Amino acid sequence: MLSSLTGPVCIDSLVSERFNENPERWWNKFYQKNTANFFKNRKWLQQEFPILGQITQSDSPPTLILEVGAGAGNTAFPILEQNKNPNLKIHACDFSKKAVELIRNNPLFESPGIVGSIDTSVWDVVSPVDADSGKAQLPLGIEPETVDVVILIFIFSALAPKQWQQAIRNIWATLKPGGVVLFRDYGRGDLAQVRFKKGRYLDENFYIRGDGTRVYFFDEDELRRLWSGDESMTPNRAVGSNQDCVEQMSNGLSSVCLDSNLDPSLDEPTGGPNFDILNFGVDRRMLVNRQRRLKMYRCWMQGLFRKPFVTSVAEASKVATEKTTVKSAVELLAASTSVINIPIVEESGPAVSPL
C-alpha cells in the first residue's frame, strides 16, 4: 500500500512554496482554532522516558528541561504536575505565538501549588546563526550549554528535510555535555500516512494536512544517520553502556567517554553534531476501535540521544575540573535509561492523534 504513496505527483511548486515559506502561519491558525481543551495530556511520557521520573524526584539535582514545539503545554504541564524537585525548571517554547499564549493562559502556568517552575517563549528551532556574533539564536532566557534535557515530541516531522540539520545544531548548542534528547515522532507506514489522499504530497514521505500544517514520516536508518552524524552508521552500531561511562568517569580524565570520532588534535569538532544514540527503536501497535470495528496500525519512532561529555580538548579540561558533578549526572542517566525497553507493545501511548 505504501508504494502508492511514494510515487504521486507533487503539489504544484507555487502551492508548495506557499506552505513551506511561512509554516508558523498555519500553526498559528491551528492553535487559534483548537483551544487547549482540544489536546490530550501526554500522561504516558514517564513510562516511555523513565529519565523524567528520575529528574522529578524530590532529591534530584537542579535540572533544566527545554521542550521544543511545546504546543498547548500537554507535555510540560503533566511533567510539572508530577514534579517534586524544587529545582526543576521547564522552558516550553514554540514558534507559534498562539501556542505560547495557550501555555501562558493555562491555570498551572503561575499556580502557587506547583513545585518547580515553568517559562515559555516564541522560538523557531531552525533559527539561523546570528549574523553579527556567528552564534546560535537560542530561546529567550536560555544560555548556551545549560540545558539538561531537550524534549522533541512529534516536532521534527513538522520541519522540511532541509531544515533538520539546522535544528539539530541549535539543539546541540543548548545542551550541556552529557545532556540528552527525548525524541518521538511518526514512522513510515503509520496510519496517518496511509490515509493521505491525492493532492497532499509535498515530497518523498512529506505531506500537507488539510489545515495547512506539514508532516514527514521517518525511516529508522534515516534518523540514526541524522542524529549520529555518521553516514556509514548501521542499525547495529552502538555506543558504550551508560554504566560503562559511570565507571570510566570515576577512573579519571584519561578514561572519559570520548566520542569515537573525536580527533584530540582539534579544539572544535568538524562537521555537524554527532550525538550518541543511547536507545532507539520502532514502536508499532495495532489499535482497535471496537465501536466502529476498525483496526488502526500506528508506527512511531522513539529515541534517546546524548551530547557526548567531551567534544573538544577544551571541554576535556572542563570535565576534569568538574568531574564529581558530571559523574553524578551520569549516574542519574544510567539509572533512568537502563530500564527503557524499545520497541514497546503496551497500548499506553496516544490513541489516534498524538499531537
What is the residue whose three cell numbers read 511545546? 70
Q: What is the mean pLDDT of residues 127-137?
A: 92
pLDDT attached to residue 52: 95
DSSP lists the bridge partners of residue 88 as 63
Q: What is the DSSP letter of 35?
A: -
For residue 346, give every residue at least 6 positions away whose Cβ sits within 8 Å of its Cβ, in sequence order, or none. 47
Q: What is the mean pLDDT of residues 226-255?
A: 47
pLDDT 10s digits, 180-238: 999 999 998 877 777 777 766 777 888 877 677 788 999 999 999 999 987 654 443 34
Is pLDDT at 107 greater than 60 in this prediction?
Answer: yes
The 10 Å Cβ neighbour count of residue 116 is: 17
Greater pLDDT, 56 or 200 = 56
Q: Are 91 and 141 in contact (CB under 8 A)?
A: yes
DSSP string of 301-312, one letter each residue: EEEEEE--SBSS
Greater pLDDT, 262 or 188 = 188
What is the residue whose three cell numbers read 502556568? 109
Q: Where are the alpha helices (DSSP H) in 22-157?
A: 23-33, 45-48, 51-55, 76-82, 97-104
- Supply angle C-alpha 119, 106, 123, rounded to 5: 40
Q: pTM of the prediction?
A: 0.72
CA distances from 354 to 84, 265, 299 (A): 26, 45, 11
Antiparallel, parallel or unpaired: β 294-306 and 214-216: unpaired
pLDDT band for position 29 (cuts 50, 70, 90): low
pLDDT attached to residue 56: 96
pLDDT attached to residue 336: 44
Q: Give the distance, in angstroms, between the CA of residue 143 and the centroid of all CA atoms in the same chain.
A: 18
* Sheet architecture: strand order including 175-186: 117-122, 88-94, 63-68, 147-153, 175-186, 294-306, 276-289
DSSP string of 240-277, one letter each residue: PPHHHHHHHHHT-GGGS-B-TT--TT-SS--SS---EE
DSSP string of 183-213, one letter each residue: EEEEBTT-HHHHT--TT-EEETTEEE-TTS-
Q: What is the mean pLDDT of residues 18-24?
A: 57
pLDDT band for position 34 (cuts 50, 70, 90): low
Q: Is the dihedral of CA 313, 319, 320, 322 positive or negative?
A: positive
Half-sphere exposure of 53 (CA within 13 A, CB side): 13
What single letter denotes the amino acid at residue 28?
N
Closest among 70, 69, 79 to 47, alpha carbons compared: 79
pLDDT 10s digits, 274-301: 999 999 998 888 877 777 777 778 899 9
My answer on whether omega of the bond before 343 falls inside 30° of 0, hence cis, is: yes
Q: What is the mean pLDDT of residues 118-132?
A: 93
| % the chain with pLDDT above 90 | 39
